[in-house]
Structure formats: structure tokens, C-alpha cells
Amino acid sequence: MGGSIVDYQKIATGACEKIEEAVSQFCVEGIPSECARYGNGHINDTFLLCTEEGEQRHQYILQRMNTHVFQDPGGLMQNISGVTAYLRDQIVRAGGDAQRETLTLIRTKAGADYYVDSLGSWWRMYLFITDAVGYDVAESKEDFYQSAKAFGHFQRLLDAYPVSELTETIPDFHNTPKRFEAFCRAVETDACGRAKHVGSEIAFVMDRKAELSVVMDRLQNGEIPYRVTHNDTKLNNVLIDTRSGEAVCVIDLDTVMPGTAVFDFGDSIRFGANTAEEDERDLSKVSLSLPLYEAYVSGFLEGCAGSLTDAEIRLLPWGAKLMTLECGMRFLTDYLEGDRYFRIHRPEHNLDRARTQFALVADMERKWDAMKRFV
């Protein structure tokens, strides 16, 4: 496409036709020169936008928000604007660099935090955090430890955040028993006729039904507290400085809501302490790395700086197991429902992802005593 900043062939998706319209609405520095897909998120459409201003180059992250997943995008943007402003304040007071250590929203020319295009898609823009990467696999124990410290610290910083100002962007997001009910409905409905091929995966979940409420019960009866948590603590949602190796910024703030620290811990283990990638097809490669698990426990407790209660600490292994089981259940639900939630890159992608999660749960069960002992 002559003169366009976007290579549409590489983007290969419908509904993103309005990229250029969206770009033109935000107050960027310089002239937009290139815009291409970026990162490995499963939910939003993410692009890296480059602009030029004489010799200088600027970079931004442009996102088309997923309004199928986030049905109150206005409330979500209020959360992000409130949380990032709050974090910025604390970072500045601690002498940090707020433009690196938290997300910075770029305003539109109309002064808003988002733009709704002529097709009704919601767009937002952030400063691109340079010289930092989000890993899909922990390359070293040190990186993983750094990510743990960052997620722990993130939660610590939000300890006193006014919860009443937060919209619940996805109701019952980590309510594992409710996720199970949704899973059972998907099995029952079997919208795509796929259930007959995944009998052993379905049985794997059913066999663990009694365990699914271990954490939710304690949250609901007050044994452990609700806190402002991130709720999507994958390793690629924290950016690690490529020079110093230290974590710089926790990103992907769409699911910051009241939740439990036990699940923030657990989701990180699910993704980052797996010796294989989340969608590995060779299940013999999938296992829980105890050294990575231990590094994460140490980093997370350090980042939380004494704020976790004994009851929360005792439940950390359960957080890991239940987040892995829940995520497997969510992938399998999506597979049964026809892949409508998570972005997929091949036909049985969600099924592959579900299988890795269940293989990881099985390995956690083998290593359960060691997991408990360490905390």
C-alpha cells in the first residue's frame, strides 16, 4: 500500500483497518513512519509505532483493545489511568524514573486516554519502554527472580490503593469454581463437536473437582485478604532491562482488580517455572522447575516486603497448582467453544495449551511435598 505506515500483509487480520486513523488521533512526537504487530499477548492487538523527528526516532505501543474480553472498556481505562497515576506518584517520590517504571498513557488530540474509531474499536497508546524485553521463557533463574520481585513490589505499591475506585474488568476472573462451571457448560453444549476427542483432558479436570475451591473458600471466608492484585502475572507481562538484567516495569494492567496475592504468585509459576513453553506439543518437555519455583518464592516474598500473612504464604503452592489447572480449564473451554477468547495461531492451539497446563499440574502433584516444604 503506497505511502502507508502499515504493512497490511504482515498484519493479516480483519478489523485493524483503522490503524492509521487511530494513529492520527494521538499526540505523538514526530511523523509516524512504521507500525507493525508486536509481542505475544493473547488478548489485545498490539503494535509498535515508530515516528521520526529529524534525526530522532520515537517509539510507542498502540493497542486495539479486546472489547469482547473487556466489556467495559471505559471502566478499564479509568482503572489504568488511576493506577498508573498512583504508581507514577510513588515512583517519583522514591526517586525513580516514572516513564520507565510504569506505563505512560499518551493522550489523544481530544484530551482522552483512548480513541474509539469509526468502526467502534477502542484504541490506546503508551510510551514504548526501550531497552527492555518481556520473556516467554525464563532464560535464567536471575531473570525469574527479578520478575518475582517486580510483581511482589507492584502489589506492595498498590497496598493502599482505593479499591472502591476500581472497576472489576472481568467479573469472577480467577473464581476457579465458577471457571469450572463454565467449563462444564462447554463440555455439555459441545458447540463444535470436539468433546469426544478430549475425553482424557476432560477427565483430568473432573478428577480434581474437589480441590478447585481451596483458595476461593479461604478468600471468601476471610482467612486470606482481598488485595489489589495484577491477576495476569505472566513473565512476558514484566519488562526486564536488557543491560542491567533488572525488572523495570510491570505491564498489561487490564486485570488489576481486587484478588489474591496467592493467585498472582501462582500464575507466575504456571507460566515461568514451566521448563517448556505454554504451547509446547512435546509434553515430555513440560515440568515444574523447582529451582525456578524457589527463586520465584524468594523474589516474590522480598518484593512483597513482609506484607503477606502466614496463611497466604502457606497457600502459595495451591496458588501455583490452581492457576495452572484453571488456565488449562480456560484453554480447554475455549477449544470446546470454538476458539473465541484466546488468540490462536494454529487449529489446535488451545488444546495444545490446555495439555501443557495439565502436564504441569501432574508434575506439580509429583513435586508437591517439595513445593510445600520450600514455602
Q: Which residues bind ligand GN1 (CB under 6 A)?
A: 41-43, 69, 232, 234, 237, 252, 254-255, 278, 327
Please say which residue, 51 or 176, places its beta carbon nearer to ligand GN1: 176
- Residue from 35, 116, 129, 371 touching ligand ADP (CB under 6 A): that is 129
**134 in contact with ligand ADP (CB under 6 A):** yes
Please say which residue, 38 or 226, places its beta carbon nearer to ligand ADP: 38
**134 in contact with Mg ion (CB under 5 A):** no
Listed in sequence order, the residues at least 6 apart from 216 whose beta carbon sits closer than 8 Å to its beta carbon are 175, 176, 177
- Residue from 201, 252, 264, 279 touching ligand ADP (CB under 6 A): that is 252
Please say which residue, 69 or 198, places its beta carbon nearer to ligand ADP: 69
What's at 268, amino acid-wise? S
Nearest Cα to Cα of residue 129 among 255, 244, 239 = 239
**121 in contact with Mg ion (CB under 5 A):** no
**39 in contact with ligand ADP (CB under 6 A):** yes
86-115 residues near ligand ADP, rule: CB under 6 A:
103
**319 in contact with ligand ADP (CB under 6 A):** no
**252 in contact with Mg ion (CB under 5 A):** yes
Candidate segments 186-194, 247-255, 274-282, 285-293, binder of ligand ADP by CB under 6 A: 247-255
- Give the whole-angstrom CA distance, residue 150 versus residue 155: 9
**280 in contact with Mg ion (CB under 5 A):** no
DSSP string, 104-140: -BPPBTTS-S-EE-TTS-EEEEEE---SEE--SS--S
Going residue by residue from 199 to 238, which x/- string records binding to Mg ion, judged by CB under 5 A? --------------------------------------x-
Residue 53: strand, helix, or coil: strand
Query: Distances from the Cα of 212 to the Cαs of 83, 185, 205, 324, in angstroms?
Result: 30, 16, 9, 11
Shortest separation between residue 254's beta carbon and ligand GN1, angstroms: 6
Shortest separation between residue 120's beta carbon and ligand ADP, angstroms: 19
Residue 345: CB atoms within 10 A of its CB come to: 8
**317 in contact with Mg ion (CB under 5 A):** no
Residue 255's binding partner out of ligand GN1, Mg ion, ligand ADP, none, with CB under 5 to 8 Å set by partner kind: ligand GN1
Shortest separation between residue 237's beta carbon and ligand ADP, angstroms: 5
C-beta of residue 15 within 8 angstroms of C-beta of residue 119 = yes
- Residue from 6, 18, 28, 44 touching ligand ADP (CB under 6 A): that is 44
Cell numbers describing residue 45: 492487538
DSSP string, 301-332: HHHHTT-S-HHHHHHHHHHHHHHHHHHHHHHH
Query: Distances from the Cα of 138 to the Cαs of 126, 145, 155, 276, 331, in angstroms?
Result: 25, 10, 21, 10, 22
Query: Distances from the Cα of 127 to the Cαs of 62, 80, 152, 310, 358, in angstroms?
Result: 9, 14, 23, 39, 37
- Residue from 121, 146, 176, 237 touching ligand ADP (CB under 6 A): that is 237
